[in-house]
Amino acid sequence: MNYWLLKSEPDVWSIDQQIKSGSKGAPWDGVRNYQAANNLRSMKKGDLCFFYHSNIGKEIVGIVEVIKEAYLDKTDKTGRFVAVTVKFKEKLKKPVTLEEIKKNKELSQLSLIKQSRLSVMSIDSKSWKILLRMSKT
């Protein structure tokens, strides 16, 4: 299994909207950065993703699961970009803020810090566990 982080502006698509999409999930579309799109292409069914609210909040607020692998993004008129479908798994007990993440030396290599504008990024399993632990304390 692989781990990922998906960023969304909560006024565009929030964790609460993701919850309302139910077990059928919702497409993660609109990604127009090639590196982020390649990350979407690498996702496999069953992979878990942190759901990160960007711009407003700047915090990890939940976990979603990939339920459909990459397919052509219907919102892309060029036919170059892909989407995946994700379904809600859980809301974190305590959101993990970007500020807290930056303070943790063990997370300094995360793309979230190094490539702050990237909207879809991989997370190594050690960092995934650290971030989960941070959401429980």
CATH architecture of 3-134: Roll (3.10)
Residues of the chain with pLDDT under 50: none
Residue type, 92: L
Tell me, what's the pLDDT at 24? 97
| Exposed / middle / buried, residue 76 (Cβ in 10 Å: 0-12, 13-18, 19+) | middle
Tell me, what's the pLDDT at 137? 79
Tell me, what's the pLDDT at 17? 98
